[in-house]
Structure 1
Amino acid sequence: MSVNYIADQTFDKQDFTLRPVPKAEYEGCSFISCNFSNSDLSGVKFLDCSFTSCNLSLASLIKTVFSDVSFKDCKMLGLRFENCNDFGLAFSFDNCKLDHCSFYKLKLKKTTFKNAQLHEVDFSECDLSSSDFQNCDLLQSTFDKTILEKADFRSAYNYSIDPDNNRLKKAKFSKSGLAGLLHKYDLQISE
Structure 2
Amino acid sequence: MSDPGSRVGVMASTVTTADWDSGVGERRAHEGVAFVDLDLCETSLQGVEFTDCTFRNARFNCAELSDVAFINCTFTGCNFFDATFTGCKLTGSVFERCEFELLTVDGGDWSFASLRRAELGGATFTGVRMREADLTGVRCAGGTLRGADLSGALLESADLSRCDLRGSDLSALDPARTQIRRAVITPDQAVTIALALGLEIRD
* Interval of TM-score (by shorter of Structure 1 and Structure 2): 0.7 to 0.9
State the Cα deviation string for residues 84-143 of structure 1 (Å, max 9, x = none): 434x65522111101011111111113211111110112111110112222111111121
Residues 39, 60 of structure 2: 8 Å contact kept: yes
The answer to whether residue 148 in structure 2 is matched with residue 136 in structure 1 is yes
Corresponding pairs, count? 184
* Cα deviation digits, residues 10-63 of structure 1 (max 9, x gap): x67721238765752121101100011212222322111011001111112122
**1-side partners of 2:17 and 2:91: how far apart?**
28
| The one of 43, 65, 74 aligned to 2:79 | 65
- Any gaps of 5 or more consecutive residues in structure 1? none
Equivalences for residues 7-156 of structure 1 within 5 A? 14-17=28-31, 21=35, 23-81=37-95, 83-86=96-99, 89-156=101-168
Measured after TM superposition, the shift of residue 183 of structure 1 is 4.8
Matching residue's letter, 2:53: S
Q: Is the 8 A contact 1:130 1:148 kept in 2?
A: yes
Q: Rg: which structure is higher? A: 2
Describe the shift of the 1:189–1:36 C-alpha distance in structure 2 as closer, same or farther (beyond 3 A).
Answer: farther
Of 170, 180, 187, 2:192 maps to 180
Residue 14 of structure 1 aligns with an amino acid whose one-letter code is R
- CA 1:180–1:26: 2 relative to 1, 3 Å: same
SS in 2 for 1:68: coil
TM-score, scaled to structure 1: 0.82
Would the aligned equivalents of 1:120 and 1:138 in 2 still touch at CA under 8 Å?
Answer: yes
Gaps of 5+ in 2: 1-15
Identity of aligned residues (%): 15
